[in-house]
Structure formats: structure tokens, C-alpha cells
Structure 1
Amino acid sequence: MRKYRIPSMGALLAFEAAARHESFTHAARELFLTESAISRQINTLEGNLGVRLFVRVKQRVVLTRAGKVYGAQVRRALESLDRDTLSIIAHGSGGGYLELAVLPTFASQWLIPRLGDFNARYPDVRVNMGVRTDTFPFAETHFEAAIHYGKPTWPGTSADFLFREEVIPVCAASLLTQPVKSPADLLDYPLLHSTTRPDGWATWFANLGVDDNRTMHGVRYELHTMLLSAAAAGLGIALVPRFFVDTQPEPSALIVPFEAPVVAESAYYFVYPTELSHGKPLTNFREWLLREALAWRTAHPVLDADADVGSGPR
């Protein structure tokens, strides 16, 4: 039989609260214990570990380096246990939770506005969302699935195609000092880039027959919401997915300086670890999401997998 060297839950809860507040008093108040009870739990934990977790400095406690590291690890473990507990409670009621990693602007502009239909169809399933803009090892996170933009080459996962992306240039009308008659005219203005689409502008210009080193110049933003805000503020011209602009709830302050949409070679995918046995939440969400994506592709055929991607204006 394997022997686990895991401290008592009482000691871990006391330590996590004390580490978060760097105060035994505040930890005691939060956990409805006495300060001496918190102190005893910490002393026992330090004795079992053989490591000092706190030092006293002028009537207060301060985490040691080991205490800071262990505090972050214990907090993650307790949060994971809390999520697992909620999930099993929901499972017993016939529902469940899905932990989904999303691209923030995609989620806010395309996914979340459609979730009302999912909730109506599957009222017992809840979708929790967190932000990830790049691939990550599922085994090291609590996520069970992700919305991914790029290629279906995420190691250890299965990937379902959702749809491609049609990109257009946008900017504030006040930025333009003269009419834009050709794509090359845009190079007279600052270009705003996406760090997750580093070759976006170069590819867009190349599809329109423009070969110029200036296509790679300009500042970079990680999120499309930042790109849209920067463009609206007159800081430059951004290249963004058309649906990010078309789905704005109010008339946009942005204009399209040159109408030449290009379908990107990459696409959106729903990915999840291949080796896992998936339960009801993931299965239900996957079926619903693929149905919504099919409807979107049907309404926008150029975004389908068989589209002649990257071939110029549409």
C-alpha cells in the first residue's frame, strides 16, 4: 500500500489562509478559529515538513521563500479539489461542469452570445471559462477542453474544425489623411499587430500582391480587444476578424479603409485530450458547439474547410 505524506486538511487550510493574508489573526477570523489554533496548526505543519514557512518580524508574520512557494502550490491544490467537489456534486444531480479554455475576444463576441441556447438545451450543464491564448499541457491545468486558433496540431488532443477566419483592416476615420486607393496606401499609416497572429499583416498584403518589409513594422497587442480599442483611438490600422466588428452591439466607431477581406489559412478548433473518457458536460457542449459552427459556416460559406483560403480578396 502506498503511503502518502499529505498533511491534515485542517493544517493546509490554516496555512493557506495565513499565507494569503500573511496574518494568523485574519486567518483565524476567516476560518472561525482562535489565533492560537492557527498557530498550532502552522507549527505542526512546519514540524512535519522540517521547513520554516513563516518568520516573525515586528509583531507580524512574513512568509519565507519556501512558504511563498508552498503557499501557491497548496492554494492551487485546494482550488482544484474545490472544483472537483463541485463537479461530482453536479454529476450526482445529472449535470456537471465543463472547464473550458477560451480565446477572450472570440468568447465575448461569438461564443457567449450563443450560450443562452446551450443553457436552454442543457440546463444541468455549466460551462466555466478561463483565458488561454496559446497551447498548453492539459495535464498541468484544470481545463478539460479549449477553443484554439491555429492548426490542428496540439499534441495529445483531438481537434474538431469549427470555421476559418476572414480578416479585414479597420481604423478610426480620423486617422486617414487621404483616400486609400490601393492596399499599399495603408503602409503610410501605423500598422497594429496581434501577437497571436504575428504574420497576419504580411500574409494579408502578400495575398494582395504587396511585398514590403514595412508590413512587419508596428506595435503588437496580445488581445483583439486591445487591437480594436487602439484602432478606435486612432493609433493605427488593425487587422481583425470580420465578425469581431460585425457583432458589435452598437454602431462601430471603426471604418474599413480598404475593402479586401482575406480568408486566413488557420482556423478555430475545439480541442480536448484524446486519452480521456469524456462525460456528459463535454459531450453535450461539443455536440452543441459543432452544430453552431456548422450553422455559421453555412451562413458564411467562405469560412468552410474547403474554402480556397489565402487566395486574395473576397
Structure 2
Amino acid sequence: MRRKIPGTDLLIAFETAARYQSFTRAAKELCLTQSAVCRQIGALEEFLNVRLFNRIKKRVCLSEAGEAYAKQVRDYLNRMEHDTLALMAHGGGGGVLELAVIPTFATRWLIPRLKDFHANFPGITLNLTTRAEPFMFGDTPFDAAIHFGDSIWPGAMTEYLFGEELVPVCSPALVAGRGPLVPEDLARLPLLHQSARPEAWKEFFGENGVTGINAMGGPRYELFSMLVEAAKVSLGVALMPRFFVMPELSSGELIQLCGASLHSQYSYYLVYPENKVGSASLQIFCQWLHEQAEAFRQASQLDSGPARPLPAPGDDAHAQERDQGADEIVEAGPDAIHHP
């Protein structure tokens, strides 16, 4: 049976015109005449028997149906382009993994280690895309995600990587001339906040026995990488995952104030949909990532997290977390797919 699908050239013309809300600009991008684009849009509307654009004098704007269809067509064309480029890049061999990552985790921890992965597994291409919100895998092209939060992700497998310790850091210039500081002293300094962790400073002071202060004041930044730069130019004190600021602590650009810290109740996890368990490329990446995480835990003397052995990718004999029937999307902890 012949599929009821319009021609790709018609869909491309429609998506481009929808993006610009202009046939003239679409024609320029596609190296066509305006009349050619008009004819393609007309042919698509005739095929669908639906008006996609409202013509108002010399302007066009998407109809309600056209707006909904434009998003669907854009997603379809993006997936087709992605799959085509992957096939061209590998000639039908090797593998491509699409990984959703937390922005600062990607730049500060994962990417510096990828040279080792590429050297050992040159046949696998790893594409990274930042995601700062929870998502359902079925609605995305992702094969896996690195997530910060708890171990529940509906419909997916979660594998523990490591925990997190937050430490207060700032530029040496901010506290120049001051003697040794204790946690109470930090409350008198400007506090910098990460947007997804609005109560981190409150938790830090509470864990270190400091009460009766307002720890909520101060500017907020979306990404931890922004906090690093703000702290470096003496805008205030940032509460940072220690491993995010190791280069700056080593170089002296930042210093850790007092010996107090905050051990997060959340952890970093590798997450992937259950139907990807049999993917050979994903299993290779899982194993490599666990080895990197184990080495990092030992070097950093981080706690071992959940009291269970590291699960081998796809090995149900180990306690990988499954969907526990929760209706809600995972309560992603700070900076995770809530924590840039």
C-alpha cells in the first residue's frame, strides 16, 4: 500500500516558510523563486486539504493547523537529517550514540576524559547535547543521559556513577587581609546561587550548625560555569561541586573558604531506556563510563553511594533501578537534567 506522505521538497519548503513566516525569505534560503515556494506550499495544502497559512494582504502567517504541523515536520526533518549524516559519516559501520548531558558536568568532567574513549573505541561516535530538564526518552533521539538527582527515572535503567560534595569558593581578592574563616563568617559575604539549587546555601549553613541567618539573598546564575566566572571576578562566594573547580583551586584563581562542605543527598547517574539494553555501542560506553567513575571516586575519595556493586551494562543480576510505577517525571535534583 502506498504511504500517504507528501514529497520531501514540499515539506522542506513548508518548514522553511513556517520558520520565517515569509515566502520571500524561505525562497532566499532555498535558492528558489518566491513563486516556486508559493506553488510548493499550495501543492502541500492541496495534498492535505488543509490551509496551512493565512494570507493577509501581502503577509502570511501560520494557521492554527499549520503551526502544529510545522513543529511535527521540523522534528521529522531533523531526525531524517541526523540519520542521514550518521550513515554518511560511518558508511553503514560503527555506531553513533546520542547522549543528553548536564552542561557543566559535560565541560568539566566528561569531555576532558573523552580522548581516552575515542582512542579505545574509534568506531563509536558520541554526540553530546545539553539538556537541563527531565524528559521521556520516547520523545527524543537520545540513547542515554547523564542525570543528577535520585535513582528513579520512569521507563529507564539508572546506573550510579558517584556522589557530590559542595564547597564554598571565591577569589582570593574577595577575602584579602582576613584571617581564617568559619562557616558563620560566610553569611557576611555576598552569596552566589545556582538557579536550580535555591536552597543550597541554606542547607550548607544548616549542616554546619549555623542558624538564624538569611541564606537566600544574592544573585542567581543558571549554570555552574557562570558561577565559576562570577566567583573569579570577586562577585561573591559560590557553593560549587568540588570537581567542577579543581583547575581553579589548583591554579589559585579560587580558594576554598574554611573546611566545611555540603554532601548532596543526590548523585550522578547514567540513564538509558530499557529498550536500549541490547545496544552494543551503549554497553561499551556504559562500561567505559563506569571505569572512569570508579577511578574518579577513588582519586577523589568520594563515598561509594548506594550500597551495591556497579552493575554491568544490561546485567539484570545487578540492582539497576527500574520504573517504580511513579506517574510523575523524575524529581531531578539540583543542576541536573535540572542542573546545568
Give the TM-score, by structure 2 length.
0.80
Name the SS of the counterpart of 1:216 in structure 2: coil
1:303 to 1:107, Cα distance in 2 relative to 1, 3 A = farther
- Report the Cα distance in structure 1 between the residues aligned to 2:182 and 2:99, rounded to whole angstroms: 42
Name the structure 1 match of 2:139: 140
Amino acid at match of 1:291: E
How far 1:126 sits from its partner (Å)? Answer: 1.0
Mapping of 1:1-314 within 5 angstroms?
A: 5-56=4-55, 61-89=60-88, 93-176=92-175, 178-248=178-248, 251-305=251-305
How far 1:250 sits from its partner (Å)? Answer: 8.1
Name the SS of the counterpart of 1:204 in structure 2: helix
- Report the Cα distance in structure 2 between the residues aligned to 1:249 and 1:302, rounded to whole angstroms: 18
Q: Give the CA RMSD over aligned residues.
A: 2.7
Name the SS of the counterpart of 2:245 in structure 1: helix
Name the structure 2 match of 1:311: none
1:226 to 1:157, Cα distance in 2 relative to 1, 3 A = same
How far 1:243 sits from its partner (Å)? Answer: 1.3
Give the TM-score, by structure 1 length.
0.86
1:90 to 1:274, Cα distance in 2 relative to 1, 3 A = farther
The CA deviation string for residues 229-272 of structure 1, in whole angstroms up to 9 with x for no partner, is 22223222110011111134983532222222343221111110
Amino acid at match of 2:232: A
Tell which has more relative contact order, 1 or 2 (C-alpha 8 A, sep 6+): 2
- Name structure 1 gaps, 5 residues minimum: 308-314
1:209 to 1:127, Cα distance in 2 relative to 1, 3 A = same
Name the SS of the counterpart of 1:159 in structure 2: strand
How far 1:283 sits from its partner (Å)? Answer: 1.8
- Report the Cα distance in structure 2 between the residues aligned to 1:227 and 1:89, rounded to whole angstroms: 40
- Report the Cα distance in structure 2 between the residues aligned to 1:268 and 1:230, rounded to whole angstroms: 25
The percentage of aligned residue pairs carrying the same residue is: 46
How far 1:296 sits from its partner (Å)? Answer: 0.8
How far 1:61 sits from its partner (Å)? Answer: 4.5
- Report the Cα distance in structure 2 between the residues aligned to 1:221 and 1:297, rounded to whole angstroms: 28
Name the SS of the counterpart of 1:265 in structure 2: coil
- Report the Cα distance in structure 2 between the residues aligned to 1:97 and 1:68, rounded to whole angstroms: 32
Name the structure 2 match of 1:312: none
Larger displacement relative to structure 2 (25-34 or 121-130): 25-34
The CA deviation string for residues 11-48 of structure 1, in whole angstroms up to 9 with x for no partner, is 10121223334444554454454443322211011223
How far 1:9 sits from its partner (Å)? Answer: 1.4
- Report the Cα distance in structure 2 between the residues aligned to 1:250 and 1:54, rounded to whole angstroms: 58
- Report the Cα distance in structure 1 between the residues aligned to 2:287 and 2:168, rounded to whole angstroms: 33
8 Å Cα contact 2:277/2:283 also seen in 1: no
Larger displacement relative to structure 2 (232-241 or 89-98): 89-98
Name the SS of the counterpart of 2:263 in structure 1: strand
Name the SS of the counterpart of 2:210 in structure 1: coil
Larger displacement relative to structure 2 (7-16 or 170-179): 170-179
Name the SS of the counterpart of 1:305 in structure 2: coil
How far 1:112 sits from its partner (Å)? Answer: 0.4
- Name structure 2 gaps, 5 residues minimum: 308-340
1:171 to 1:14, Cα distance in 2 relative to 1, 3 A = same
The CA deviation string for residues 135-185 of structure 1, in whole angstroms up to 9 with x for no partner, is 211111111111111111111111111111121101223333744532011
- Report the Cα distance in structure 2 between the residues aligned to 1:93 and 1:45, rounded to whole angstroms: 33
- Report the Cα distance in structure 1 between the residues aligned to 2:212 and 2:129, rounded to whole angstroms: 38
- Report the Cα distance in structure 2 between the residues aligned to 1:68 and 1:126, rounded to whole angstroms: 34
8 Å Cα contact 1:170/1:254 also seen in 2: yes
